[in-house]
């Protein structure tokens, strides 16, 4: 009996974990690493200076190192970088560091993975101002539907993680945004990416294979085929 082509197509698509701090060698995983970390181990990485670590970092050195490492084939994104209004580091410094890292992302044509705490409008304003050529992915999205819609209107992508298992508000947003802008992740949790997919598929009333198609298609659109190494 011939297997319907649709089935073969979806069967082949791997799990995609767009942002994790713990590698499991399952499907496509973007392991988040700090600047200077070794990046030659057959793993795909996002690399950047997190706003939490700005204060203790020698900035010029770190930025030079990021620029150097960004040329490595294992680096698929600059991140997580962004703005966090819940930390002591001033907004001005955070924006300066963000701009510098964004410049490196543009230079190497790497998508950006964003960390955002109470700074949706700051980052939306920066996006309008910078008009980036590289895609932006807001990781761990937990904002309002209105925020989600504003970011999507700018062409940004939203990645959802464990909040999908817990927060009613996030579940609702997830159900309402267009599929072409979705990613899924585990971040620093011990949750399995399969469980995030399971919940996400349930919320959107589709099967997991269909969801895998959606996320994989988005992945290839944003990252090209260079970063589709699977574990």
139-168 binders of Zn ion (CB under 5 A): none
What is the C-alpha to C-alpha distance for residues 90 and 88, in angstroms, rounded to an integer? 6
Closest contact distance (angstroms) between CB of 187 and Zn ion is 4
Residue closest to Zn ion (Cβ) = 187
* Both tokens assigned to 204: 């959107």
Which of these segments, 33-41, 158-166, 181-189, 221-229, binds Zn ion (CB under 5 A)? Answer: 181-189
Per rule CB under 5 A, count of chain residues that contact Zn ion: 1
Closest contact distance (angstroms) between CB of 139 and Zn ion is 6
Which of these segments, 4-12, 65-73, 167-175, 179-187, binds Zn ion (CB under 5 A)? Answer: 179-187
CB 43 within 8 A of CB 23: yes
Closest to Zn ion by CB, 13 or 27: 27
Under the criterion CB under 5 A, does residue 185 sit at the interface with Zn ion? Answer: no
Closest contact distance (angstroms) between CB of 32 and Zn ion is 5
State the CB neighbour count (10 A cutoff) for residue 118.
11
Which of these segments, 142-150, 183-191, 194-202, 214-222, binds Zn ion (CB under 5 A)? Answer: 183-191
Closest to Zn ion by CB, 161 or 213: 161
Closest to Zn ion by CB, 34 or 149: 34
* Helix, strand, coil distribution of the chain in percent, nearest 5: 45, 20, 35
Provide the 3-class DSSP secondary structure of residue 108.
Answer: coil
Closest to Zn ion by CB, 84 or 187: 187
154 by Cβ neighbours in 10 Å (0-12 / 13-18 / 19+) ranks as middle
Closest to Zn ion by CB, 34 or 195: 34
For 48-73, give one letter per residue: b (16+ CB within 10 A) or e: bbbbeebeebeeeebbebbbebbeee
87 by Cβ neighbours in 10 Å (0-12 / 13-18 / 19+) ranks as middle
From the list 77, 187, 212, 223, which residue makes contact with Zn ion (rule: CB under 5 A)? 187
Residues that bind Zn ion (CB under 5 A): 187
């Amino acid at each position: 009996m011939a297997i319907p082509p649709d089935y073969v197509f979806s069967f082949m698509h791997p799990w995609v974990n767009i942002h994790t701090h713990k590698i499991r060698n399952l499907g496509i995983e973007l392991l988040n690493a700090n600047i200077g970390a070794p990046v030659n181990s057959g793993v795909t990485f996002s690399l950047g200076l997190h706003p939490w670590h700005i204060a203790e970092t020698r900035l010029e050195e770190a930025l030079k190192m990021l620029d150097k490492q960004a040329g490595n084939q294992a680096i698929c994104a600059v991140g997580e970088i962004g703005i966090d209004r819940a930390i002591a580091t001033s907004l001005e410094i955070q924006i300066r560091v963000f701009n510098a890292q964004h410049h490196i992302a543009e230079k190497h044509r790497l998508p950006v993975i964003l960390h955002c705490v109470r700074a949706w409008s700051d980052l939306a304003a920066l996006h309008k101002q910078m008009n980036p050529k590289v895609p932006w992915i807001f990781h761990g999205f937990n904002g309002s539907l209105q925020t989600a819609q504003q970011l999507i209107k700018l062409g940004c992508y939203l990645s959802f993680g464990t909040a999908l298992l817990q927060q009613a508000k996030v579940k609702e947003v997830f159900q309402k945004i267009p599929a072409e802008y979705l990613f899924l992740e585990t971040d620093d949790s011990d949750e399995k990416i399969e469980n995030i997919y399971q919940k996400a598929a349930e919320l959107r009333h589709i099967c997991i294979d269909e969801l895998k198609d959606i996320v994989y298609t988005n992945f290839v659109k944003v990252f090209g085929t260079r970063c589709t190494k699977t574990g």
